[in-house]
Amino acid sequence: MRIFNKSFHIFIAGLVLSVLLLVTAQEIYAQSKDKYPERPIQLIIPYPPGGSEALGRKTATTMSANIGQSIVILNVPGASTQIASRKVKEAAPDGYTIYVSSPPEFVAGPAFFDNLPFDPLKDFTPITYHAHAPYMLLISTKIPVKTYSELVPYMRKNQDNFKFGSYGALSQSDIIARRFRKSTGINFGIIPYSGGSPSFNALLAGEIQAVFATPIPTRGFIAAGQMLPLAVTTSERLKLFPDAPALRELGVDIIDSASYGLVGPAGLPKEIVDFWYREWSKAMNEPETRKFIEDMGVQIVASTPEYFKKWLNDNIKLWAELAQTLGIEKKK
């Protein structure tokens, strides 16, 4: 009987200790959630400094001031955003690594690459599709062209030497240039660069004659007379550049936009997803930040995580169809 009592007491003591440990762990978890964020957050942007990263950097600066915690920008350009995506995939899902993704390039990966090092649906947690911006057909002011109607015959006459630049091989600007080449039937070259800024420098230096780019990093060049917008990829003209017709007006069936989304690694807790969705949307809609964003020609969306997840699913199918239309073979 004594042996039974001793064993029973040991069992009870162990059970009590287990319960206490569980309660303590839950309390620590609850406290850590309440304190989040309690250290600087790393925000990864897949573009080089000084270009399309302006949207993410500005919003992060506003959000950082609102929450009283540092948000450190890490620019990780290259490989059509794959390097940045892989880095986020490998990060801990603790809310201290967040990603300003490029959703079109994000979901285009399965259509263009055989051995993609990540799954855009399984390896990430969608937070918000937060904004989009049109692409513009920009040309160098060094060539003797002022309108789209002048551009097409000039390209036909000089197609062996006429070159477009892009943000990188199979980047969105690269795909739009390919679609434009197929639509016009003009066999111009397309040179991939490691992001927007290098392609703009190439345009200014005369290495290329045109590029599809958003207004975000190019407004200054346009205002300085170094680039000329001839058309836009929206269904209607932009208020920012009312003299540039939509490509559809010109008989070119291309409607596309640069999109910006916020994601974290797979398994990001709902509380952190909700925190980022709420605070990021709030930061974007603060008057000074909203004006900054809209002055770049960017439209704020600030979608729910659920909408963004559906958007990713739908667009994976669309990009697969587009790759087939353009005859793009998957890279190994």
Domain locations in the chain as residue ranges = 38-132+257-326, 136-250
Q: Specify the pTM.
A: 0.77
SS3 141: coil
How do residues 66-87 score in pLDDT, each as one tens digit? Answer: 999 999 999 998 777 888 999 9
Q: What is the residue whose two structure tokens read 């997840």?
A: 309
Q: Which runs of E-coded beta strand occur in the chain?
A: 41-45, 71-75, 97-101, 124-134, 136-140, 163-166, 189-192, 210-213, 227-232, 257-265, 299-300
Same fold, 38-132+257-326 and 136-250: yes
Distance CA 142, CA 199 (A): 16
Range 80-89 burial, b when 16+ CB lie within 10 A, else e? bbbebbbbbb
- For residue 33, give the H/E element and its range: helix 2-35
Q: How far from each other are the two terminal CA atoms of the chain, in whole angstroms?
A: 71
Q: Which runs of E-coded beta strand occur in 239-311?
A: 257-265, 299-300
Q: Report the CATH superfamily, name and number, of domain 136-250.
A: Periplasmic binding protein-like II (3.40.190.10)
- Going by C-beta distance under 8 Å and a sequence separation of 6 or more, which residues neighbour residue 288? 62
Q: What is the residue whose two structure tokens read 């007491």?
A: 9
How do residues 232-283 score in pLDDT, each as one tens digit? Answer: 999 888 888 999 999 999 999 999 998 899 999 999 999 999 999 999 999 9
Decide yes or no: CATH 3.40.630.30 for domain 38-132+257-326: no
